[in-house]
Structure 1
Amino acid sequence: MSRLTVVAYTFGVLFFLVSCAFSVFYGYKVMSHDLPEEGNEIKGYNYHFVLVPEELDNDYWRLVEKGAQEAAKEYGVLLEYAGPKQANIDEHLKTIEMSMASKVDGIITQGLSDEQFTPLINRVVERVPVITIDTDASNSNRMSYIGTDNYYSGYLAGKALIEDTKGQANVAIITGSFYANHQQLRVQGFRDAVMSEQGIKIITMEESEISRVRAAEKAYQILKDYPEVNAFYGTSALDGIGIAQVVEKYKKTDQVYIIGFDNLPETLDYLSKGTIKATIVQEPYEMGYRAVQMMIDLIEGKTVPPVVHTNTRVLRAADLPVSHLGGREAGY
């Protein structure tokens, strides 16, 4: 073997080892950011909780986290915010399992309707108390649920659409997930509300996968395939925003009625302009704050109600502060 070959071989081995080292380090940093560490020692805190959202960077879940962190600071709790970067049931379940293994004092998590979720929660609560938030898992042994009455919120949306369209609309539904329990309930509540209205027809329903980009793609395809559609109902926080983007670009906003969910800043902007006509407002901050309080009560042996429904209401442009009304008056 020539000297040049030996040098090249040695360099190649060194490069490989350095690459592996960086990969291991990077992987560790990612995992330590997204998942609780086992054996995490808590100093200066009364309790250690983990909040597992549907997806980490969702604006709605950041509001839940804000409320939870405020309560955690007030009550001397270390709160970790950990979970999937994008909605993913396997990563969600893995985060719960890692939280249990790291011996946290309590787990606050969105409920999931997948058949894997209930058996896992039933196993976890034997070691760690679990509170579901935003979406319940009523068939599991979770200790309590705090969040929206999702069926009622869907029913409110249906009644608002009837009122605003005078009972005449061809509706397309874009839902965050066909399989998530809270999304199913919001659809069912809406369907039940409009069922007796002869002038309202549900034309089609599509899934956005909790993505504003996908919601926009679905809205565009619906308008192309079903020109008779003149109303949209979006059941997740990002659906209404995606729908509104398409309606503004491809249709006259006074020809299409949109009712969405939540009061994210973009939603309020579209509401003030009249692109979105109404939105169903939840209380994510309150959910997060009270979930931490309830978990402390559980640990300290106090009685906690099995279900706590936070407030839900319809918001229209007329309900916004004058300072937020920069666009035309909302109306169908």
Structure 2
Amino acid sequence: MKFKRWFYLFLFLLFMINLFFMLIYGKKTFEAQDPVKPPHRYDYHFALISEEIDNEYWRIIEKGARDAAEKYNVYLEYLGPKQADNIEQLKFMDKTITGKVDGIIIQGIAHSYFYQLTNKAFERGIEIVTVDTDVADSERKAFVGSDNYMAGVQAGSAMIDDTKGDQYVGIVTGRLDALNQQLRIKGFKDAIKKENRIKLVDIEVSNITKSGALQATYDLLKKHPHINAFYGTSALDGSGIAQVVNQFKLKQRTYIIGFDILPQTLHLLEEGSIDASVVQYPYEMGYQSVEALLQLKTGDESKTLHHTLTRVIHRNDIQDFYEKGTVYENHTK
């Protein structure tokens, strides 16, 4: 009996000790600390959703957007799928709408899901600016980017001016379901249709990767060995085309016109492996996209189209770019 009494007393003391330490721990854990210094306050929170997160072209768009965001006190998120995928890209858009951002910059995508999401954003007061590719009949408020149809016309006109004799053309395009690629092909076709000596033979898809461009070029030459001219419509196509053409060691001179001036494209243009390239200004696209969103947030909806410059450059134009600074960052800040 005495043993039981001491045992219960021991349990009671053990319980009280545990309770004491729990109270001490809780006090230290939850008691108010010195006030935390509030984080930097931004005027707006924008999201830039890329076609492919680590694509060099989209990283340049991001650079322009970040520079503008820093200038205008905007918090900018950069998001996107690891590989180009319309549905994955749109899922990121849905998440940012749910997250109640103030504005979204995204490539226009001709898909029912995109229309649903632009409507959803509109209902929640979230402004949408399309960049690089437009979907004009959606609830997007503005578009910033190249006139892709005219860029295609410029590519076709360059091929006419730069070549003589019959040209049998193979096109390597990033994605057949991308509006910007479609417009670049349409503009090219319209430019060459009255030039009987230039004939479009076939089109293959690169899926906007260098390996895809290599495979697409290889497939075109295996199926159509008489091809003697190429047009690449996305940033990595030109370098992929040039590599395969050099490997094939073709007897005939092969004309190549690419798109954009990534470092490897510029190098190939310098050494003569690529004849010409259509230059865009992705840095400007990113910078002006942030500015377009800011205009919308302040009630200025007067300008819905912000076309950035495109032009064709050749080897003898490169020195001019070196002297005037990088082709990507021409914004006057």
Bin the TM-score by the shorter chain.
Answer: 0.7 to 0.9
Could you tell me which amino acid in structure 1 is paired with residue 265 of structure 2? T
Cα separation, 1, equivalents of 2:189 and 2:99 = 43
The question of 1:79 aligning with 2:76 is answered yes
Q: How does 1:253-332 map to 2 (within 5 A)?
A: 255-321=253-319
> Whole-Å Cα distance in 1 between the matches of residues 294 and 321 of structure 2?
39
Structure 1 position 65 matched with structure 2 position 62: yes
1:38 counterpart residue number: none
Distance 1:304 1:245 in 2: 46
Which residue number corresponds to residue 97 of structure 2? Answer: 100
Aligned residue for 1:131, secondary structure, equals strand
Deviation at 1:201, TM superposition (A): 0.8
**2: distance between equivalents of 1:323 and 1:130?**
33
Residue 90 of structure 1: aligned partner: 87
Query: Residue 120 of structure 1 is aligned with which of 106, 117, 136?
Result: 117
Q: What's the secondary structure of 1:275's corresponding residue? A: coil
Counterpart contact for 1:157–1:280, Cα < 8 Å: yes
Instruction: In structure 1, give the amino acid aligned to 2:179.
Output: N
Distance 1:290 1:254, change over 3 A: farther
Show the counterpart of 1:7.
none
Q: CA deviation at 1:43?
A: 4.2
1:167: how far off?
5.6
Residue in 1 that maps onto 2:187: 189
Distance in 2 between the 1:253 and 1:61 partners?
37
Give the counterpart letter for 1:270 in structure 2.
L
Q: Which one-letter code corresponds to 1:244 in the other structure?
A: A
Amino acid at match of 1:92: Q
The DSSP-based 3-state class of the residue aligned with 1:295 is: helix
Corresponding residue for 1:144?
142
1:302 positional shift: 2.1
Q: Which 5+ residue runs of structure 2 have no aligned equivalent?
A: 1-37, 323-333
Structure 1 segments (4+ residues) deviating >6 Å = none
User: CA deviation digits over 1:193-241, x for unaligned, max 9?
Assistant: 0001110111101111111101101101211221110000010001111
Q: Measure how far apart 1:303 and its partner are.
A: 3.2
TM-score by length of 1: 0.82
Q: Which deviates more, 244-253 or 267-276?
A: 244-253
User: Alpha-carbon deviation of 1:251?
Assistant: 2.2
Q: Secondary structure at the match of 1:255?
A: coil
Tell me the residue number matched to 2:45: 48
Specify the alignment match of 2:248 in structure 1.
Answer: 250
| Conserved 8 A contact 2:174-2:234 | yes
Q: CA deviation at 1:322?
A: 7.8
Q: Which moved more, 1:217-226 or 1:118-127?
A: 118-127
Do structure 1's residue 232 and structure 2's residue 233 form an aligned pair? no
Greater Rg over alpha carbons, structure:
2
Give the C-alpha shift of residue 323 in structure 1. Answer: 9.9
Structure 1 residue 59: Cα displacement:
0.5
- Return the letter of the residue paired with 2:315: A
Counterpart of 2:47, as a letter, is V
Whether the 8 Å CA contact 2:141–2:301 is kept in 1: the answer is no
TM-score (norm 2): 0.82
SS in structure 2 at match of 1:108? strand
Equivalent pair of 1:253/1:274 in contact (CA under 8 Å): no
How many residue pairs are counted as aligned between the two chains?
Answer: 284
Which amino acid letter does the alignment assign opposite residue 90 of structure 1? I
Offset, 1:115: 3.1
Q: Distance in 1 between matches of 2:183 and 2:278?
A: 14
Q: CA deviation at 1:85?
A: 1.1
